[in-house]
Amino acid sequence: MAAKRMKREDGSNGSEPEFAKGDWIVHIAHGIGQIVRIEKKLVRGEKIPCYRVKTEDSLFWIPVGADVSDRVRPIASPRKFKRVVRLLAEPGEKMAKMHKARRKRIRDHTLDGKLRTTAALIRDLWARKRQKSLNDTEMRALQKLTDRFVKEWSISMDIPQEEAHRKLNEIVMTALQEES
């Protein structure tokens, strides 16, 4: 399940993404998907080439050549993943006391779509969970972000998702114990 092609180490190529069949991508709304083919889709009365992307539970299309860099990125390289995983072991940043401020941070970080931002938010939500209980919005966000992070880790490092999840839990739990 390893990523087929990589862009620059930061996940971009400096312009709009170019993908190929078999590439794994991360979409901020649809999650992790794999490009299964390029096909023509009718858009505003015109047939245009689009990437057909298959996720675990859906299909979506991205027009070829469209600038979607604010919503889509290639899966992170193993090298980048190793750097980002170290971030999880760092002490968590304190989250705001007001639930609206926390909700805004979760929304902003989720829309950012960057792996590093996701890892930091996972770490910080776990740290908050250790100090206080999370509300339903925070719990759903933590679950969704964790699932996406684990799946990307699994694909990037070519390891089973269960192993990635176990490693994530070990890192987070060790970091939380050290903070105590």
Q: 73-91 pLDDT, tens per residue?
A: 999 999 999 999 999 999 8
pLDDT band at residue 171 under the 50/70/90 scheme: very high
- DSSP 8-state assignment for residue 23: -
Mark whether 97 and 65 lie in a shared domain. Answer: no
Residue 62 has pLDDT above 80, yes or no: yes
Domain final residue pick, 75, 90, 115: 75
Q: How many domains does the chain have?
A: 2
Domain final residue pick, 55, 75, 95: 75
pTM: 0.84
Q: Which value, to the nearest 10 degrees, does the dihedral of the CA atoms of residues 100, 102, 107, 108 take?
A: 110
Mark whether 85 and 139 lie in a shared domain. Answer: yes
Domain final residue pick, 15, 47, 75: 75
Tell me which of 11 and 40 has the higher pLDDT: 40
Mean pLDDT along residues 127-153: 94
Q: What's the token pair of residue 144?
A: 């969704």
Mean pLDDT along residues 29-58: 94
Average per-residue pLDDT for the chain? 88
Residue 22: strand, helix, or coil: coil
Contacts with 140 (C-beta within 8 Å, 6 or more apart), sequence order: none
Q: How many CB atoms lie within 10 A of CB 76?
A: 27
pLDDT at 180: 61
Mean pLDDT along residues 153-170: 95
pLDDT at 131: 86
Mark whether 57 and 118 lie in a shared domain. Answer: no
Contacts with 53 (C-beta within 8 Å, 6 or more apart), sequence order: 25, 27, 30, 33, 34, 35, 36, 59, 60, 61, 62
Residue 92 belongs to domain spanning: 78-179
pLDDT at 4: 41
Alpha-carbon dihedral sign for residues 95, 98, 101, 105: positive
From the list 142, 112, 107, 84, the residue with the least C-alpha distance to 26 is: 112
Q: How far is CA 116 from CA 78, 84, 135, in A?
A: 13, 6, 23
Tell me which of 33 and 69 has the higher pLDDT: 33
Mean pLDDT along residues 34-60: 95
pLDDT at 53: 97
Residue 1 has pLDDT above 60, yes or no: no
Counting runs of H as helices and runs of E as strands, what totals does the chain give? 5, 5
